[in-house]
Structure 1
Amino acid sequence: MSPPTIQFKFLIFPSLQIMIIQHHSILVRMLLAAVISVAFLNTTTYGDEIDFQRDIQPIFNESCVDCHGPDEQESNFRVDSRVALLKGGDYGDPGIVPGNAASSLLISAVSYEDPDLQMPPDEKLSDEKIALLREWVKQGAVWPGQMEAKVVREKSDHWSFQPVVRPEIPSVATKVNSAATVSSKHAVEPSPIDSFLLNRLHNEGLSYSEPADPRSLIRRVSIVLTGLAPTPEQVESFVSAFGQDADAAYSELVERLLDSPHFGERWAQHWLDVIRWAETNGSESNMYRKNAWIYRDYVIRAFNEDKPYDQFLFEQIAGDTVGQGDATGYLVSGPHVPAATVGQEPTARRQARADRMDEILQTVGASAMGMTIGCARCHNHKFDPISIKDYYSMAAVFQDIEFGSRFPELADTHPRKVRGKELYSQINQLRQRLRSMGPWDEHWIGFKEVRFPETQTQAVRLTFTKNAVRVDELEIFGSQERGRNFALASEGTKIESPEEMAVPRGPLDNINDGEYGTDGWAGKKPEGSDDYPWVTFTFKEARDINRIRMSSNRGDFLETDYLTGLNFVYVDPYIVEVQTEDGQWKQVAGTKHFQSLDKQHPSRTAISKELQQLIELANEEGPKPSFVGRFVKPVTTFVFRRGSPETPGEEVPPAGLSELEGDLGLQSDSPGKQRRKAFAQWLTDPEHPLTARVAVNRFWHHVFGQGIVATTADFGAAGAQPTHPELLDWLAAEFVNPALTHYRGGDTADSSQRDHNDDSPDRTRSAWSMKHMIRLMVMSKAFRQSSLPREEGLDVDAGSALLWRFPPKRVEAEVIRDSILQASGVLDTALGGRSFRIHNVKQKYSQWEIVDNHGPETWRRMIYQERMRRVDDQMFTAFDFPDCGQVQAKRPVSTTPLQALNLLNSDFVIDQSRRIAKRAEKESRGDVAEAVRRCFELLLTREPTSDELDASLDLAKQHDLAMVCRSLINANEFAFLP
């Protein structure tokens, strides 16, 4: 009987098989079999079907399930079911993609492909086990008994993601009348807002407080709506009218304040806070963002015009599609690191781009959606139904946005476009007069434009009659296709300049590549030569041309300001020549040519001067390059595993949140405008559950001092619960779809009668009307009640969140400053325009320094002070004026010694106190007691008590009346809403 043989299924080494059969030694056969087995395991392609229970489950049980099973799920990743593997964990990528091992996170992790994600972490699986797992996935990841199970995304049951449903208004008449302490005035037909609030108060055993006195009420509502305290004359007029008909007087006051241009200034500041808008980028260089204030003016205008909120949001995301290009400053309002600071290293540039995209998503998420979108940048959101795919799908929406400047797209009705047309008409009239006197040049925004009679030519030569020159871009235009730059290389234009005139790091190709900035063409006069640097442009064919634009550093000029060494100069002197048909060069313009023409035509100099003045006015008041973002070609977007651009994962299309049906029907190659437009439409859809809720809650926060949801920028699971959920939903529903009749203050029946008898459109009932919502809030009895504490209220609700009284609160830094300027009579109330400076001109990487923060040039409202990141203004930063580095949906309120010191000893307060005292003395005709009374009226909108008057007279006698003013400015009454 022959010895038994061991049977193998050989894929390789057939000669070894023969050797085993021939040997009679069982031991030898076993050794050789072991060698062949190892070779087999290391080289197999696993052509046979993998058996899950035999081959895969033991690997999971032994090496994976302890940390990723039913008892513990690190990173929310599980391996104990096929569906769990398909779903993946917090990092967003699916654990397995059946048939595609390369895209499966499980295979990447066990293969140690990524040094930051290696599983198991203690010891790598054997190559044999990894090969088994890889082949299992390739073969479809067959898991017996679980092949029918599908990944089903569970919908969140969190309140903020549920549809807004208008609730029934509670009936509270009997409950209110039974409250022991309630005023009879509060028992008459409460507004819907009051009905919800009183219903909750009744359940807590509380009621409203007594109505506020008229002096407190006008000060409160004036500051809430306009940020300015009322003047003494306005207070006296209101108190008189209030005594005759309180409801009518108050209603008229509210309408006047809502119509005031200062309303827009006040409420624009609230919006600018939450989006972190500032006029520097906040990085190490903290460069100034030139003309970023154009966006600030858009926001002020939007609030004053009561632009519907859905339109307000749409324009800020896709305003370039509807002639409101200045609105897109919203998308680039956050901080960013400029390219010059990043450098040229590719990984650093990719990371910086990802950081800039994150700033955009933080802005949109916090302000419009009340969501901490940025938490999903590296993994699925820990608390809310926002996946890492959602994050990068939203990033895909904004891939065409880059931080920088552009000429904003403006409709013909836009104020700047209207003003520009007026000025351009006058400019063209002066040009007509100059045409008969020969060529001329004009200085525009960052470039010089040379104008000459229209000439047909195929070549243009510019000679710069100086030893060295730098030109970042040169453009050539005609009168027929006014925006077509014939000089561009993309037009087929060839350029030439002698090699001996070349300067290192200034290649000739830069002069017509369409890019502005420091990387231009540089030319020099060769040593020992009489030839000045020149360059020729040869077109593909003859062109009709009539003007040339050239600049030395238009990029820096358009992007930033207030920096030393910007290296911007007009490229003078020069000669412009065109080539005639016979190949000769003919001069058509030049610096010396202009000087000669000025002598020939005595009126030419005056016309040119007037023309330049109009151009400078047009540069300031007409359309202008502004820091509202620039457009780039969008790229395909991938999920960045753990947030790193160096580990791209799955490709994702532009989309909103999947939890809220955010599929926009777009592809990775969709144009940028189409992406943003579709997203804006999704965001402002009346059925979107977040948009209206977040907006009305923010209005409520700024009216009452705390939102119904206290975390105004976080409506997620980590945020606060609403104190009055039904009221919040009623407000949101009313915001989107106002009821036909509603409470407007005073007697309900009379208000309803006015609604029906008035044929004109009722502006208080417009859909998405911001003023309508704010009006409802300040007209409520809740807003009009006293702020005095009551023991029973403090016992139940010490923070006054239930509004059993109006919660007293400290006013913002801007209110303190603007009210002081108003009291002294020097406040400049001009609306909009360039911000006033308080800082120096600095070097590129140095810090800004405060130069003058209290002189006459600064006597505008504080919203017009240049908003500088990382800069202490040495006065009002102490009052929690935001740095704009982080989302500031709710300003903190601190109490520090610096606040009192600033309001007592700062140059600003000392100067303004003297002015207030001087004003009071003048208006009191030298009567010291009357002057003291006037100081109280100007600063506190009331007269002093007898004790206050005596103490103030003693203080004035010991020091002066200005010291009395400084003391009043330091009073809590000045810094708090009554």
Structure 2
Amino acid sequence: MILKSITSTLRTLLAAVVGVMWLHAPTFAGEIDFQRDILPIFNESCLDCHGPDEQESNFRVDSRVALLKGGDYGDPGIVPGNAEMSLLVKAVAYEDPDLQMPPDEKLSDDKIELIRQWVKQGAVWPGQMDAKLVREKSDHWSFQPVVRPEVPHIDVRSHRQSAIADKENPKRSSIDAFLLDRLGEEGLEYSPAADPRSLIRRVSIVLTGLAPTPEQVHNFVAEHENDSEQAYSHLVERLLASPQFGERWAQHWLDVIRWAETNGSESNMYRKNAWIYRDYVIRAFNEDKPYDQFLFEQIAGDTVGQGDATGYLVSGPHVPAATVGQEATARRQARADRMDEVLQTVGATAMGMTIGCARCHNHKFDPISIKDYYSMAAVFQDVEFGSRFPELSDDHPRRIRGKELYGQINNLRRQLREMGPWDEHWIGYKEVRFPATITQSVRLTFTKNSVRVDELEIFGKKERNRNFALASEGTKSYSPEEMAVLRGDLSNINDGEYGTDGWAGKKPEGTQDYPWVQLTFTQPQEIDRIRMSSNRGDFLETDYLTGLNFVGTDPYIVEVQTEDGQWKEVAGTKQHQTLNKQNQQRVAITKELQRLIELANEEGPKPSFVGRFVKPVTTYVFSRGSPENPGVEVVPAGLSELDGDLGLGSNAPGKQRRKAFADWVTDPENPLTARVAANRFWHHVFGQGIVPTTADFGAAGAPPTHPELLDWLAAEFVKPSEISMRSGPASVETVNSQSKVTRNTTPAAWSMKHLIRLMVMSDAFRQSSLPRQAGLDIDAGSALLWRFPPKRVEAEVIRDSILQASGVLNTSVGGRSFRIHNVKKKYSQWEVVDNYGPETWRRMIYQERMRRVDDQLFTAFDFPDCGQVQAKRPVSTTPLQALNLLNSDFVIDQSQRIAKRAEDESDGEMTKAVRRCFELLLTRQPTDAEFAACLQLAQRTDLAMVCRTIINTNEFAFLP
């Protein structure tokens, strides 16, 4: 018993001693000697996994420079003088449960403290203190400067069977020279020229997304017989100048940036007026806006009066803050996810790089570090997903229209000022206007039992945009406590933030008092209008929700306090009603005023889902991508591999960051920008890019099939030089009913139409798509372009061509998207309710694009969901495609209309009507066998069934 007591006491004492030793971990006041104190630890515990033979996570400890560099996670292994920021110290001290080194057994406290002190004392490593951290440049082809190569010399006589006869082609284009040179190495040459009918169908669809009409085909064939070169040049220029060109090529851009009109995520909320950005893209292509300007405006358009262009930055999916909830870590993670969506968009479109791969560690294949990723994130720290009034220049179409309408609105306001106060209903809020009055306190009473207001704003005549109600102006808000409602904080009513978090008031039980709120300024102010709303955030951001409303019909009274402390009514629902009864002219004016306001809301500047701007915060590298593990601070910059230092600090304004980055990415010396764009144009003209992985120019992507041609195109794009019968902008002159195409001056730098023109004017584009055994044996995929590669047209081309054939296609350009979906509850799903009625007979680019929704028709044709970057649409073949083109409501309805049109244009004669159906859908006459079979089918069923059959043919769905 005594022995047990002694043993217990000894154990207690030993535990106490150990505890004291732990609390007082060893410290080393003297100078740490690397050879004596640190090197043995590295040799014994670190070098096996982080030495010259093996480098876990690319982290090495066998040199000071390697430690300064760090590994894949981005943080430097050591920061001399700062142990807390050194990854090596964090790892050996087991500070992070996910990063503990050595993993099998922790170092002793003495060894950990030695390493810590060594770093604090400057990490002195004898013999290596002069070694500098030098970043090795990549030798990957896409990071090398673009140098215009010499155009190969091609002996025309050796290619007599190619697309165009020698006498009509005295000088081949540079594109053909490169392609024929490569084909010659394989013993191949071009295929014969495509027939005129195939050629006009091909170029029309490639340039405008619409098949030619039978009349256009007839005219082209006739012109082609007289002068094939002139006829084709004329056709290309007409198509490039067509408004439908912008619609076609805008769709390609919208695919790669994943543009849609809903957020995705669980709620999949609608993005109100996101179509404003879509219209910007269409307009840019139609105007042939220089590509460098096009890209600059989408990154920093708010700095040059093109604020609608920044919809590009917020085109990807995101989780709204309301869905995330209030938990701080979840909000930080969601913000990081939204920033990643921005970087994915910029990386894929502007740079052809998978930037997102560096979010958690250095890129495994490309010279993109995790520090590069977060430096780019710093560029866009002022961007948030949401809506704002876009900044528009004075010559912007919406600004011009807005000025015209606002002038008319102000004329009516001048008349109303003599008739007493009135209401105006704007986008998401009601504005109450009354005669200017000086007061220090305003009281707003809602004559109903309960009310919710997200924001009150009060303005005056002198400083038109100064909101006197803001708490930041010193204004105090007050409402009796007995009127308070749970989660209706009074401070929200004048905090300057719109949204669902507002003030809520109720009528106290047993009283006759209606809910009211009072705002008191720091000093008297002259005011003449009040804005009020109940959920302006949702109203500006989304639409098509049940229960979405705002303060518009709620009865109210506005009172101001006079100098003697009395309250005076200056506006109110009943007062307005009384004035209207007394003055019918006032009623007519207010009605016309509201009509003009609604017109201005639609046609003038308007809040649109093109992003909103917030104050940028300091950016840190997130260890392993987690915002809960911030590491070293980074400043806004582009890729270090391409000298992306922007010369900015962490305190730089958001606009300055994005403008500097836009200047860097559009610099002619940036080797990625022009290459990526030129390759993307090539992909949409020929069906596959010179670099097949159009959004990945990195080591994991495919190499270019024609690297010299790609560089020539990139150089030509930035600085055009080729002047020949097949390049340069053209004009069409008509003399004596004959059209003549003449070439003008050298095309503008970065002209998108110029590069596309060069491609479609090439012999390569104009050759037949028919197979040849010699070509199939060597190049089955037609990547070397020994023939024009046949390809299935996109879902939009199929749909729009059907509408054109029936004669109901509405070709108006731009404007609000047409709806095919329901009005839904906030967290329910979208449902397709009408995808074939008259309201949907516009081009498919104007169909509301909703994420995670099957349109029950063309989704089967690989119509993108917009969740992932879609630089190259997949092409699948499924039974559902044939079923949709045979039995869907859309095809049945349109087939009946095509049949009716054919009958009307054939005087009701069935044989002519069958032939007319072929003309309308395939722009040709049927063969004898086709005619006999279709006539028999029409007689057995009806002519609409013949149309449905033709729509299901490969000829209708493929480029010839």
Fold shared by both chains (TM-score > 0.5)? yes
1:57: how far off? Answer: 2.0
1:793 aligns with 2:757: no
Would the alpha carbon gap of residues 156 and 746 (structure 1) be closer, same or farther in structure 2, given more than 3 Å must change? closer
CA distance in structure 2 between the partners assigned to 1:156 and 1:190 by the alignment: 36
Q: 1:839 aligns with which of 821, 826, 832?
A: 821
Would the alpha carbon gap of residues 880 and 279 (structure 1) be closer, same or farther in structure 2, given more than 3 Å must change? same
Matched position secondary structure for 1:690: helix
Q: Is the 8 A contact 2:275 2:817 kept in 1?
A: yes
Q: How does 1:791-940 map to 2 (within 5 A)?
A: 791-940=773-922
Matched position secondary structure for 1:955: helix
* Aligned residue in 2 for 1:220: 202
961-970 or 185-194, which moves further after superposition? 185-194
Q: How does 1:659-738 map to 2 (within 5 A)?
A: 659-738=641-720
* Amino acid in the other structure paired with 2:343: L
CA distance in structure 2 between the partners assigned to 1:728 and 1:796 by the alignment: 22
1:175: how far off? Answer: 6.9
Q: Is the 8 A contact 1:321 1:673 kept in 2?
A: yes
1:182: how far off? Answer: 8.5
* Amino acid in the other structure paired with 1:849: E
* Amino acid in the other structure paired with 2:720: P
**TM-score computed with the length of structure 2 as normaliser:** 0.95
Q: How does 1:103-502 map to 2 (within 5 A)?
A: 103-173=85-155, 176-177=158-159, 184=166, 188-502=170-484
CA distance in structure 2 between the partners assigned to 1:295 and 1:44 by the alignment: 63
CA distance in structure 1 between the partners assigned to 2:127 and 2:114 by the alignment: 20
Count of residues paired in the alignment: 937
* Aligned residue in 2 for 1:755: none
* Aligned residue in 1 for 2:580: 598
CA distance in structure 1 between the partners assigned to 2:907 and 2:936 by the alignment: 19
Can you give the 5+ residue segments of structure 2 that lack an aligned partner in the other structure? 1-13, 734-739
* Aligned residue in 1 for 2:936: 954
Matched position secondary structure for 1:67: helix
738-747 or 346-355, which moves further after superposition? 738-747
* Cα offsets for 1:700-736 (capped at 9, x unmatched): 0000000010000000011111111111111111111
CA distance in structure 2 between the partners assigned to 1:87 and 1:271 by the alignment: 38
* Structure number, greater radius of gyration: 1
* Amino acid in the other structure paired with 1:945: T
* Amino acid in the other structure paired with 1:422: E
Would the alpha carbon gap of residues 270 and 793 (structure 1) be closer, same or farther in structure 2, given more than 3 Å must change? same
* Amino acid in the other structure paired with 1:310: D
1:199: how far off? Answer: 0.8
* Aligned residue in 1 for 2:8: none
* Aligned residue in 1 for 2:927: 945
Matched position secondary structure for 1:544: strand
478-487 or 40-49, which moves further after superposition? 40-49
CA distance in structure 1 between the partners assigned to 2:624 and 2:728 by the alignment: 58
* Aligned residue in 1 for 2:80: 98
* Aligned residue in 1 for 2:27: 45
Matched position secondary structure for 2:616: coil
* Cα offsets for 1:828-847 (capped at 9, x unmatched): 11111111111111111111
Q: How does 1:643-658 map to 2 (within 5 A)?
A: 643-658=625-640
Q: 2:751 aligns with which of 763, 769, 786?
A: 769
* Cα offsets for 1:37-92 (capped at 9, x unmatched): x9799744222332323322222222211111122111111112222111111111
* Aligned residue in 2 for 1:6: none
1:747: how far off? Answer: 15
* Amino acid in the other structure paired with 2:943: L
Q: 1:88 aligns with which of 65, 70, 90?
A: 70
CA distance in structure 1 between the partners assigned to 2:818 and 2:745 by the alignment: 35
CA distance in structure 2 between the partners assigned to 1:175 and 1:139 by the alignment: 76
Matched position secondary structure for 2:529: strand
Q: Is the 8 A contact 2:729 2:745 kept in 1?
A: no
* Aligned residue in 1 for 2:736: none
CA distance in structure 1 between the partners assigned to 2:476 and 2:606 by the alignment: 31
Matched position secondary structure for 2:48: coil
* Cα offsets for 1:491-531 (capped at 9, x unmatched): 12222222222222112211111111111111122212122
Q: Is the 8 A contact 1:326 1:408 kept in 2?
A: yes
1:297: how far off? Answer: 0.6
CA distance in structure 2 between the partners assigned to 1:65 and 1:274 by the alignment: 45
1:856: how far off? Answer: 0.8
Q: How does 1:514-553 map to 2 (within 5 A)?
A: 514-553=496-535
CA distance in structure 2 between the partners assigned to 1:486 and 1:401 by the alignment: 27
**TM-score computed with the length of structure 1 as normaliser:** 0.93
Matched position secondary structure for 1:728: helix
CA distance in structure 1 between the partners assigned to 2:846 and 2:799 by the alignment: 12
1:186: how far off? Answer: 7.9
CA distance in structure 2 between the partners assigned to 1:324 and 1:114 by the alignment: 46
Q: Is the 8 A contact 1:274 1:888 kept in 2?
A: yes
* Amino acid in the other structure paired with 1:56: I
Percent identity over the alignment is: 81
Q: Over the residues paired in the alignment, what is the CA RMSD in angstroms? A: 2.2
* Amino acid in the other structure paired with 1:329: G
CA distance in structure 2 between the partners assigned to 1:450 and 1:651 by the alignment: 48
CA distance in structure 1 between the partners assigned to 2:466 and 2:91 by the alignment: 54
CA distance in structure 1 between the partners assigned to 2:258 and 2:122 by the alignment: 49
* Cα offsets for 1:405-434 (capped at 9, x unmatched): 011111111111111111111111222222
CA distance in structure 2 between the partners assigned to 1:740 and 1:955 by the alignment: 54
* Cα offsets for 1:649-699 (capped at 9, x unmatched): 000000000000100000001000000000000011111100000001000
* Cα offsets for 1:322-363 (capped at 9, x unmatched): 111110000000000001111111111100000000000000
* Cα offsets for 1:556-587 (capped at 9, x unmatched): 10011111233534252111122222222221
* Amino acid in the other structure paired with 1:433: Q
CA distance in structure 2 between the partners assigned to 1:230 and 1:178 by the alignment: 30
CA distance in structure 2 between the partners assigned to 1:352 and 1:811 by the alignment: 38
Q: Is the 8 A contact 1:176 1:207 kept in 2?
A: no
688-697 or 460-469, which moves further after superposition? 460-469
Would the alpha carbon gap of residues 468 and 909 (structure 1) be closer, same or farther in structure 2, given more than 3 Å must change? same
1:142: how far off? Answer: 2.3
531-540 or 273-282, which moves further after superposition? 531-540
417-426 or 131-140, which moves further after superposition? 131-140
* Amino acid in the other structure paired with 1:235: V
66-75 or 941-950, which moves further after superposition? 66-75
CA distance in structure 2 between the partners assigned to 1:917 and 1:181 by the alignment: 37
Would the alpha carbon gap of residues 927 and 454 (structure 1) be closer, same or farther in structure 2, given more than 3 Å must change? same
Would the alpha carbon gap of residues 62 and 180 (structure 1) be closer, same or farther in structure 2, given more than 3 Å must change? same
CA distance in structure 1 between the partners assigned to 2:804 and 2:335 by the alignment: 45
Q: Is the 8 A contact 1:182 1:208 kept in 2?
A: no
CA distance in structure 2 between the partners assigned to 1:597 and 1:350 by the alignment: 53
1:452: how far off? Answer: 1.1
Q: Is the 8 A contact 2:163 2:763 kept in 1?
A: no
1:508 aligns with 2:502: no
413-422 or 879-888, which moves further after superposition? 413-422
Q: Is the 8 A contact 2:375 2:635 kept in 1?
A: yes
1:95: how far off? Answer: 1.1
* Aligned residue in 2 for 1:27: none
Q: Is the 8 A contact 1:396 1:654 kept in 2?
A: yes
CA distance in structure 1 between the partners assigned to 2:701 and 2:940 by the alignment: 54
